Amino acid sequence: MPLLLPGNAKRSRGNFFTRTHSNIEKNDVREKNKLWNKIILQSRLHSTRFFPVCSQSFSLSMAALDSKASGKMGIRAVVYYMTTTVIAVFIGIIIVIIIHPGKGSKDKMHREGKIEQVTAADAFLDLIRNMFPPNMVEACFKQFKTNYEKKIFKVPAPDNESLVSAIANNVSDAMEILSKLTREEMVPIPGAVNGVNALGLVVFSLCFGLVIGNMKEQGKALKDFFDSLNEAIMRLVAVIMWYAPIGILFLIAGKIAEMEDMGVVGGQLGMYTITVIVGLLIHAIFVLPLLYFLVTRKNPWVFIAGILQALITALGTSSSSATLPITFKCLEENIGVDKRVTRFVLPVGATINMDGTALYEALAAIFIAQVNNYDLNFGQIITISITATAASIGAAGIPQAGLVTMVIVLTSVGLPTEDITLIIAVDWFLDRLRTTTNVLGDSLGAGIVEHLSRHELKQGDPEMGNSVIEENEMKKPYQLISQETETEKPADSETKM
């Protein structure tokens, strides 16, 4: 016998299935759009070429410089990195305190994703372990990371008399005693995650380059090999750069397609997003160019115009490591920065110099405190500034690495780490702005270090200068980096050697 339903019930049932079918279709369309945006012209080669560019360029620069010159250059680079990072942290703290975007209740805010718990000690030990990878081939696609596993431990049981008396007195007391016989605990276990171990590659390349430099004539063959490898990779980069803008367009479109409701997210996190953008703009437009001008007495905007392509690539890829080949090309060809400086400063900067990440982590930590109506004292703000500086150094140059190190900053002042899910929805966009700031800081740092090291560079290997070969546009419609002879000098070089 068929089931008879009233008319309203039939319409409700029909509307239910219609709405369900419509939602399924919308989800299918969204998933298909995300898939195509990830497949079509997505610039995966940006990441795959990081290893050859980083390793050979860094090794070649260390081989071309004597230990004294490389030591001075390294000290100048580290001082610059630490100075700009500390300034960025304090800018983030001041801006978030002034604007105070964390008004309102966090219960009304949208949460997205999950955040993995990590202790500061394990994060620091992971940093040390990644500096010395056991397998250099594996370091090209994996990095060490401590994972956590829930384990159950047994505790000594109470004597039978106390258990019998507890049962006789109260069943709830007996259940409480039995529950104490086992204990759950999160135990750290060694593991690995997908991603280039940039820090390990830089440390290996540093040691390898120093050894080649000390070998003098015996190491000349290796120096020539790395120089030829650099030339081949830069030619490949020149070809890839032709389709890079289209790939960047699809990368950003894919991220936009992944968002569930842009209106809701924008309304809830609008002030937070504006606060981060204001902080990054102050650091990128005022602080970094002013620092470059004070040291070099040159126009920073001419310099920035020369690296515009690298900044756009950083905005699209959201990875300073993936942008590294483009940054090499812009600095050496457009601006004329010495190869020995770019190959030394940029790989290190792409690994440890994260001004935008440091600013963001300090700002986001105080924002989460404001959302929870938690008043931070002066000591806690100083703690946030120190841990944000240290955590940014440990953040790998890969997309959204700052979210992982954010746990360390929140833990240092006792803030709830699960509240990171409040800001994940807009992190894909802010991460691109942070990366652009990081690349700008690395590039201006290379110009500053070259200016301060000009005397050491004059006494170095004259074969390592820069030149740009203008090829016939009909045959090769791009510029190539080549090795310069002693008689060939760049016609328009910003820094004279």
pLDDT in tens, 303-314: 999 999 999 989
Residue 284 confidence (pLDDT): 96
- Helix (H) or strand (E) holding 481, with range, is strand 480-481
Look up residue 385 and give its two tokens.
């500034």
What is the band of 217 on the pLDDT scale with cuts at 50, 70, 90?
Answer: confident
Give domain limits for the chain. Answer: 41-142+200-481, 148-189
DSSP state of 47: H
Q: Which residue has the higher pLDDT, 429 or 408?
A: 429
Average pLDDT in the 312-325 region?
Answer: 85
> What is the per-residue pLDDT across 283-295, written as a single tens digit (0 to 9) for each?
999 999 999 999 9
Closest CA to 322 of 336, 308, 312: 312
> What is the per-residue pLDDT across 85-100, written as a single tens digit (0 to 9) for each?
999 999 999 999 999 8
Q: Please, what sign has the CA dihedral across residues 181, 186, 188, 191?
A: positive
What is the band of 481 on the pLDDT scale with cuts at 50, 70, 90?
Answer: very low
- Distances in whole angstroms, Cα of residue 269 to Cα of each of 65, 105, 214, 282, 483: 49, 12, 55, 20, 50
Residue 67 confidence (pLDDT): 63
Average pLDDT in the 238-245 region?
Answer: 67
What is the band of 437 on the pLDDT scale with cuts at 50, 70, 90?
Answer: very high
Q: Tell me which residue has tokens 């953008």.
A: 277
Q: What percent of the chain has pLDDT over 90?
A: 20
Residue 443 confidence (pLDDT): 96
Please, are residues 452 and 495 in contact by the beta-carbon 8 Å criterion?
no
State how beta strands 147-154 and 182-189 pair: antiparallel
170-206 burial, b if ≥16 CB within 10 A, otherwise e?
Answer: eeeebeeeeeeeeeeeeeeeeeeeebbbbbbbbbbbb
Closest CA to 129 of 145, 148, 147, 149: 145
Residue 214 confidence (pLDDT): 78
- Helix (H) or strand (E) holding 188, with range, is strand 182-189
Instruction: State whether residue 153 is helix, strand or coil.
Output: strand
Q: Which residue has the higher pLDDT, 70 or 296?
A: 296
Q: Please, what sign has the CA dihedral across residues 269, 271, 276, 281?
A: positive
CATH architecture, domain defined by 41-142+200-481: Orthogonal Bundle (1.10)
